[in-house]
Amino acid sequence: MDSYGTNFSVSIKQKDVVVAALPVQNHWLPMSNLDLLLPELDVGVFFCYKKSDFYTENVNLLKKSLAQALSPFYPLAGEIVQNIHGEPELLCNSRGVDFIHAYADVMLKDIDLHHPDDSVKTKFVPVKKSGVFSVQVTELNCGGLVIGCKFDHRVADAYSMNMFLVAWAEISKSEAISTVPSFRRSMLNPRRPLLIDSLYDTLFVPLSSLPPPNPSVPTNPLISRIYYVKSEAINNLQSISSLNGNPKRSKLVSLTAYLWRLMSECEDGSKTCRMGVVVDGRKRLDKLSLPMENYFGNILSIPYGQVVSDQLRDMPLSQVTTLVDDFINVATTEDHFRGLIDWVELKRPKQAVAKIYTKIEENDGDAIVVSSGQRFPVESVDFGWGKPRFGSYMFPWGGQTGYVMPMPSAKSNGDWIVYMYLLEKHLEIVETKGSEVFHPLNSTYLDF
């Protein structure tokens, strides 16, 4: 693919602010203790659609259905401000959502989706300048369409945003929304008295306890890439991971273990190689009288493991998957999430962050966090002119910890799409020693 896949122009046709069809009375919505674990980060997501006629009608439909969707999902139309304690809080004031209508002088098949930093990041996913949520709808010169969104991670995790995207699509087709969101923060209240376990001090750390950044120490930039993984490769990793008398491992655990061992080949042998996994706590807390499946907000924990690189690279994959399962299992109970809520309460108003996002110990090597995007509803984000041919999250968050998010392919054939935000040395090992598993995303695979 030539440079045209990234070197094309995007022009703005119109900018609007879309407000909720039924604005709410101004009120404050506190963040839960689990929301407070997130620093100020914006997350992108985008969907690509093949040729669709009547652009003006499509864009007007999107605006109208967005206004309707913002009524039940009203926090997305608000703003985040600081309360008297310096903590973020949601002001639900019906500010609205910035909506950009744009045109890109490029064909869908020519967009280089393997290099999204150059082709997607500032062209199809909007820069959120204010508010909680922003949208950009971009027409392509082939008749295709790209819908990009940016949201504040402090307000929503990927599960919550998936819920909203599906509801927005359902409303655009005049269907009732399948999930009505709940913002009942009392469901995540701390216990009284607080019950604290020392485990949380190993997984999370107050920001105030971290040393100030040293500007004289150079940092290496992280780079975004998107790959596809064939279903046969995923199944093969799962089979290898389950050898030597091990129980059958999940596909996500198997892929995580494979990445962890690949990563160790880039590291100084004496340094630890760290791998974390994002765990959604909804199912763990679902024993409450009200189900958590419609809770809108963050219910996440990030357990991690660390192994000296020399040891890790010599392990069989089945042994590495055992390590992954072991560190994930500490965060798969209701008590874990209840304890985490209590731990944050104890530290407030000091903000804390997942420890894997930091380098504290002298032998701390590089780190990667894997987030499960298997619930990514790419097939369900159909606004009335057909399903997306491609969709992905995009999270170039700017830190020094890598981020990987596997998602189902829009082909619905068991393949995965994997977004990676990693150091260049890690991407090089992915594309050399990991080339039988990870294939650079291209228009041939996507059948654009």
Alpha carbons 361 and 49: distance in angstroms, whole number: 46
In whole angstroms, what is the distance from residue 238 CA to residue 242 CA? Answer: 6
Pairing of strands 402-408, 364-371: parallel
Give the C-alpha separation, 433 to 421, whole Å: 18
What per-residue confidence (pLDDT) applies to 1? Answer: 42
Q: What is the pLDDT of residue 218?
A: 64
On the question of pLDDT at 367 being above 80, the answer is yes
Above 90 in pLDDT, residue 361? no
- pLDDT above 70: residue 195: yes
Question: CB atoms < 10 A from the CB of 432, how many?
Answer: 10
The ranges of the chain annotated as CATH 3.30.559.10 are 3-188, 199-446
| CATH 3.30.559.10 for the 3-188 domain, yes or no | yes
CA distance 437 to 369: 19
CA–CA gap between residue 226 and residue 441 (Å, rounded): 6
pLDDT one-digit tens code per residue, 402-424: 999 999 999 999 999 999 999 99
Per-residue pLDDT band for 399 (boundaries 50, 70, 90) equals confident
199-446 CATH, one of 3.30.559.10, 2.60.40.420, 3.40.640.10, 3.30.565.10: 3.30.559.10
Residue-wise pLDDT tens digits, 258-283? 999 999 998 777 889 999 999 999 98
| pLDDT tens digits, 281-333 | 998 887 655 579 999 999 999 999 999 999 999 999 999 999 999 999 999 99
| For residue 219, pLDDT beyond 80 | no
What is the per-residue pLDDT for 2? 45
Tokens of 286: 């679902």
Indicate if the pLDDT at residue 4 is higher than 90: no
Spatial separation of the C-alpha atoms in residues 104 and 126, rounded to whole Å: 13
Question: Is-cis flag, bond preceding 215, omega within 30?
Answer: no
**Interstrand relation of 88-92 and 27-30 (parallel, antiparallel or unpaired):** antiparallel
Q: Which of 129, 131, 140, 130 is nearest to 46 (CA)?
A: 140
Mean pLDDT of the chain, nearest integer: 93
pLDDT score of 333: 94
The CA-atom distances, in angstroms, between 36 and each of 74, 76, 77, 276 are 20, 17, 20, 19
Q: Are 155 and 76 in contact (CB under 8 A)?
A: yes
| pLDDT, position 101 | 96
Report the pLDDT value the prediction gives residue 288, as an integer from 0 to 100.
55
